Amino acid sequence: MHPIAHAQTRPDHPAIVMAASGETVSFGEMDDYANRFAQLLRARGLKRGDPFAVLMENNAHYLQVVWGSQRAGTMMVPISTRLTAPEICYILKDAGAKFLLTTTKFAQVIDGIRNECSELPLLIVGGFCDEDYEAALASQSAEPIADQAPGQYMLYSSGTTGRPKGVKPAPPPDEDVQATNPLMGLAIMGAGMPADGSMVYLSPAPLYHAAPLGWGTTAQRLGGTVVVMEKFEPEHALETIETYKVTDSQWVPTHFVRMLKLDPELRTKYDLSSHQRALHAAAPCPVPIKREMIEWWGPIINEYYAGSEGIGMTLIKAGDWLDHPGSVGKAIHGKLHVCGPDGEEIPAGQDGLLFFENDLIPTYHNDPEKTREAMHPKGWMTLGDIGHVDEDGYLYLTDRKSHMIISGGVNIYPQEIENLLVTHDKVMDAAVIGAPCPDFGEKVVAVVQPMDMADAGAALEAELRDFLAPNLSKIKMPKLFDFRAQLPREANGKLYKRELRDEYLAQAEHATERA
């Protein structure tokens, strides 16, 4: 099953629908586009394995570009749309991109890119002359290239703990561009996605992330229609499910939180009866949030744990989750190992660093040290998460190793505190970090986005302390509450805690200099 085959058997079936505009691309049209883009890559001198970068908002081009690259055997480098010009140029140089495909929406950063990457060719949707992408694409033949080969992505980490790193995948195991991949089996056997072309899959997140790319292209391999939200808005997501009769979807916990914070009248306004399967991942979901979502949508919500590295995956369905609340399931791809500080596997119930054993192990591009740090002596790889398994083999995530706070010699995991805070009805979002403290090394700081900034202040702080007190020991209670209108959160749900920690570190250094 592959879009090439669907273009031959069902050329008029919609492959892509843009949720707000209704713009639709059929499988036949996508096939022509993908062939033209593969021809364009060859015309630009890109051979198998050569990288090019994409900086685009969610639009009808994105997935079609993916399929063109998948036929040319090239390495596509998706770039986050929230990055600045210097951050983008770092990725472009690190990846060795042969050109950048972007749109006029990024005019402000394009000027910075031109200055810092002056030799890099640009192709721009809405551009002019040599940079006119649509003209360049239209000039190519819609015939398949003679040397088709499976392409790959090199996804860069979010940079939540430092410079982003490119995850360079292992070589494709099969030379056939229409060969199946492991995610197809996981989609059908694990998530229960239909293989008969009836799926209508909703993608509410930015397409430059691993999950939207992976699940969206898998839905199209299965002959399904991918409905792409230009931008996530909680009520619009519900409206989109009703309008397009969505059957399948993929979310992150922050999407759930924002939909649950809607006025009850809006939450019940839309017909969600077509919705049969909802996947979520990217961050552990607070137990009360997940329970409330299952009560609202029914037992259709399945959770998985994985990473851009593709070394392993766990899955838990709603029914099993209700019996093991808080778990992210059992491994369905790769073999899971929980290890102590000495690298030895530890018993059930004890927290340790999580590793996956897999035949295909990626590397971090241009960073052998990071690759080395992620590897176990036995050849297993970690995503940097800490957790434990219970006696039944179900995995529970505790937090990221890099997020751990050490205060007075005590290890504190922010995730526990964050999960409590977001369940308060006056809190929209929360990030808990460790800030420098002369007495204890680090102190716990809660950076909170209230539902209404008018509530920010001493009274809300006291209310939150009272709310947390029954569930947190004194050492875990935040020493400081910092109220903000917005947190530095990626659209895929990841917090840029590094930005917050750097801010507090700079404040501490400035205070020391003044003293």
56 and 190 fall within a common domain: no
Mean pLDDT (whole number) for 362-384? 94
pLDDT higher than threshold 90 for residue 380:
yes
> What pLDDT was estimated at residue 472?
87
Which string of DSSP letters, residue by residue, matches 414-469?
HHHHHHHHTTSTTEEEEEEEEEEETTTEEEEEEEEEESSGGGTTHHHHHHHHHHHT
Could you tell me if 427 and 478 are in contact, meaning their C-beta atoms sit under 8 angstroms apart?
A: no
Say how far apart CA 401 and CA 233 lie, in whole Å: 31
Query: Is 366 within a domain?
Result: no
491 lies in some domain: yes
Q: Cα-flanking dihedrals φ and ψ of residue 40, to 5°? A: -60, -40
- CATH classification at residue 455: 3.30.300.30
Residue 89 lies in a domain: yes
Distances (CA, A) of 203 to 14, 230, 445: 15, 9, 34
With bands split at pLDDT 50, 70 and 90, how would you rate the model's confidence at 1? confident
Residue where one domain finishes, among candidates 128, 145, 179: 179
Of the listed ranges 193-197, 419-423, 458-462, 486-490, the one predicted with least confidence: 486-490
* Residue 250 sits in the same domain as residue 128: no
Whether 289 is in a domain gets the answer no
- pLDDT over 90 at 325, yes or no: yes
Contact 102, 125 (CB under 8 A): yes
Quickly state the pLDDT bin for 378 (edges 50, 70, 90).
very high
pTM for the predicted model, two decimal places: 0.87
Q: How much is the pLDDT for 162?
A: 61
Together in a domain, 55 and 135:
yes
Residue with more model confidence, 158 or 310: 310
Q: Report the 10 Å Cβ neighbour count for 126.
A: 13
Same domain? 73 vs 154: yes
- Measured distance CA(17)–CA(29) in Å, rounded: 13
Residues 65 and 171 in one domain: yes
Residues 36 and 168 in one domain: yes
For residue 160, pLDDT beyond 70: no
Residue 422 domain-assigned (yes or no): yes
pLDDT at 158: 65
Average pLDDT in the 272-286 region? 91
Average pLDDT for residues 23-43, to the nearest whole number?
A: 98
| pLDDT score, position 26 | 98
- Do 96 and 197 lie in one domain? The reply is no
pLDDT digits (tens, 9 = 90+) for 67-76: 999 999 999 9
Instruction: Tell me the C-alpha distance between 167 and 341, whole Å.
Output: 25
Residue position matching structure tokens 């992330």: 209
| pLDDT band (50, 70, 90) for residue 306 | very high
**What's residue 231's pLDDT?**
94
- pLDDT score at 170: 86
Residue range 314-340: mean pLDDT, rounded: 96
pLDDT value of residue 415:
87
pLDDT of residue 285: 87
> Are residues 502 and 459 located together in one domain of the fold?
yes
Torsion angles phi and psi, residue 255, rounded to 5: -60, -45
Do 124 and 75 share a structural domain?
A: yes
Residue 159: what pLDDT?
A: 55
Is 310 contained in some domain? no
Distance CA 435, CA 310 (A): 33
Decide which of 429 and 400 is more confident. 429
**Does 351 fall in a domain?**
no
pLDDT of amino acid 438: 79
Provide the domain limits for residue 239: 185-283
160 and 194 co-located in one domain: no
How do residues 47-66 score in pLDDT, each as one tens digit?
999 999 999 999 999 999 99
* Phi, psi angles (nearest 5°) of residue 187: -65, -45
- If you average pLDDT over residues 127-138, what whole number do you get? 96
Residues 207 and 153 in one domain: no
Q: How confident is the model at residue 213 (pLDDT cuts 50, 70, 90)?
A: very high
Whether residue 489 lies inside any domain: the answer is: yes
Pick from 250, 283, 316: which residue ends a domain? 283
pLDDT bracket for residue 375 (50, 70, 90): very high
Are 464 and 421 a contacting pair, CB within 8 Å? yes
CATH number, domain with residue 37: 3.40.50.12780
**For residue 239, pLDDT beyond 70:** yes
- How many other C-beta atoms lie within 10 A of the C-beta of residue 417? 21
pLDDT of residue 514: 63
Residue after which a domain boundary falls, among 179, 200, 233: 179
Using the predicted structure, report yes or no on whether residue 172 has a pLDDT greater than 90: no
* 86-95, 351-360, 436-445: the lowest-pLDDT one: 436-445
Q: Which two tokens stand for residue 474?
A: 């004194």
Percent of the chain at pLDDT > 70 equals 97
Q: Is residue 317 over pLDDT 80? A: yes
In the block, residue with structure tokens 């241009």: 366
> Of 12-21, 214-223, 289-298, 393-402, which gets the smallest average pLDDT?
393-402
Give the mean model confidence (pLDDT) for residues 380-399. 94
Q: Compute φ and ψ for 401, nearest 5 degrees.
A: -60, -40
Per mean pLDDT, which range of 107-111, 365-369, 406-410, 424-428 is the poorest?
406-410
CATH number at residue 205: 3.40.50.980
**Overall domain count for the chain:** 3
What 8-state DSSP symbol labels residue 41? H
Measured in degrees and rounded to the nearest 5, phi and psi for residue 72 equal: -95, -5
- The residue among 117, 159, 142, 67 whose CA lies nearest residue 364 is 159
pLDDT tier for residue 499 given thresholds of 50, 70 and 90: confident
Q: Does residue 491 or residue 179 have the better pLDDT?
A: 179
Same domain, 31 and 135: yes
Paired strand residues for 24: 17
Mean pLDDT of the chain: 93
8 A C-beta contact, residue 333 and residue 305: no
> To 10 degrees, the CA torsion angle through 213, 218, 221, 227?
-70
pLDDT of residue 429: 93
Given a contact cutoff of 8 angstroms between Cβ atoms, the answer to whether 33 and 53 are in contact is no
